Amino acid sequence: MKNKQSSVDDFLDLSSLLTGFDKVDLQGTGLAEIYRKEVLGIIGAQITTEIEKAGTAIYRKYRNREKLMEEAVRTEILSHAVLGPLAKNITSMWYLGVWNQMPQAWLDHVGIKQTAPSHVISADAYKESLVWRVVGSHPPGAKQPGYGTWSLPPKTR
Amino acid sequence: MINRLASIRPGIKNIDDLRAHLQIAIELEHSTIPPYLCALYSIPDGMNVQAAQVIRSVVMEEMLHLTLAANILNAIGGSPDLDNPDFIPGYPTRLPDSSAHFKVHLERFSKRAIKTFMKLERPAKAGAMPEADNYQTIGQFYAAIEKGLKEICRHNRHFNRDRSIQVKPEHYYGGGGGVIVVDDLDSAMEAIKVIVAQGEGLDHTLFDGDRKIFGENREFAHYYRFNEIRRERFYSDHDSVKSNPSGAPLTVDWDQVYPMKINPRAADYPEGSELRRKSDEFNVGYTTLLKNLHDTFNGRPDWMMKSVGDMYKLKYLAVELMRVPCNDKGETAGPAFEYQKAE
The per-residue pLDDT for range B70-123, each reduced to its tens digit, is 999 999 999 999 999 999 988 998 876 545 578 899 999 999 999 999 988 877
Cβ neighbors of A76 (< 8 A, separation 6 or more) are: A54, A58, A83
Looking at the domain assignment, is residue A59 inside a domain?
Answer: yes
- Asked if B308 has any chain A CB less than 8 Å from its own CB, the reply is yes
Residue B221's pLDDT is what?
A: 84
For chain A, the residue count is: 157
Looking at the domain assignment, is residue B80 inside a domain?
Answer: yes
Q: Considering chain B, what is the average pLDDT of its residues?
A: 88
Residue A154's pLDDT is what?
A: 80
Domain hosting residue B220, numbered range: 2-255
ipTM of the complex: 0.92
With CB atoms and an 8 Å threshold, state whether B323 touches A29: yes
Residue B168's pLDDT is what?
A: 93
Residue B252's pLDDT is what?
A: 97
Looking at the domain assignment, is residue B178 inside a domain?
Answer: yes
- Asked if A146 has any chain B CB less than 8 Å from its own CB, the reply is yes
Model confidence at A3: pLDDT above 50? no
Model confidence at B164: pLDDT above 60? yes
CA dihedral B288, B293, B296, B297 (to 10 degrees): -140
End-to-end CA distance of chain B: 28
Model confidence at B12: pLDDT above 80? yes
Least confident of A95-104, B28-37, B170-179: B170-179
> Which residues between 139 and 168 in chain B have a beta carbon less than 8 angstroms from any beta carbon of chain A?
none
Looking at the domain assignment, is residue B130 inside a domain?
Answer: yes
Model confidence at B217: pLDDT above 80? no
Mean pLDDT for the stretch of residues A131-139: 93
Helices (H), chain B: 2-7, 15-31, 33-41, 49-75, 111-120, 138-152, 185-200, 210-214, 222-231, 274-296, 304-322
Looking at the domain assignment, is residue B317 inside a domain?
Answer: no
Looking at the domain assignment, is residue B321 inside a domain?
Answer: no
Pick from B232, B234, B235, B236: nearest CA to B252: B232
CATH number of the domain where residue B178 is located: 1.20.1260.10
| Residue of A27, A34, A122 for testing the chain B interface, max B β-carbons within 10 Å | A27
Least confident of B96-100, B117-121, B231-235, B266-270: B96-100
Least confident of A151-155, B23-27, B31-35, B225-229: A151-155
Pick from B313, B30, B167: nearest CA to A152: B313
Backbone angles phi and psi of B300, in degrees to 5: -120, 60
Cβ neighbors of A147 (< 8 A, separation 6 or more) are: B173, B305, B308
Q: What is the DSSP letter of A69?
A: H
- Asked if A149 has any chain B CB less than 8 Å from its own CB, the reply is yes
3-state DSSP assignment of residue B94: strand
Looking at the domain assignment, is residue A60 inside a domain?
Answer: yes
- Asked if B274 has any chain A CB less than 8 Å from its own CB, the reply is yes
Which residue among B45, B274, B325 sits closest to A22, beta carbon to beta carbon?
B274
Mean pLDDT for the stretch of residues A87-98: 98
Domain hosting residue A42, numbered range: 8-143
- Asked if B60 has any chain A CB less than 8 Å from its own CB, the reply is no
Pick from A73, A25, A65: nearest CA to B324: A25
Rg of the Cα atoms in chain A:
17
Q: What is the pLDDT of residues A106-124, one digit of tens each?
A: 999 999 998 999 999 999 9
Looking at the domain assignment, is residue A76 inside a domain?
Answer: yes
Residue B102's pLDDT is what?
A: 80
User: CA A132 to CA B314: how far, in whole Å?
Assistant: 16
Residue B254's pLDDT is what?
A: 97
- Asked if A28 has any chain B CB less than 8 Å from its own CB, the reply is yes
Q: Centre a 10 Å sphere on the Cβ of residue B38 and count the other Cβ atoms it contains.
A: 26
- Residue B317 backbone class (left: φ over 0; alpha: ψ -120 to 50; beta: rest): alpha
Domain count, chain A: 1
Domain count, chain B: 1
- Residue A140 backbone class (left: φ over 0; alpha: ψ -120 to 50; beta: rest): beta
With CB atoms and an 8 Å threshold, state whether B323 touches A143: no
User: Which residue type sits at B116?
Assistant: T
User: CA A78 to CA A87: how far, in whole Å?
Assistant: 7
Looking at the domain assignment, is residue B308 inside a domain?
Answer: no
Helix (H) or strand (E) holding B101: strand B101-104
Dihedral (CA of B276, B281, B285, B288) sign: positive
Which residue among A24, A29, A152 sits closest to B275, beta carbon to beta carbon?
A24
Measure the CA angle with vertex B168, ends B162 and B173; round to 5°: 165
pLDDT-above-70 percentage for chain B: 86
> Which residues between 165 and 194 in chain B have a beta carbon less than 8 angstroms from any beta carbon of chain A?
173
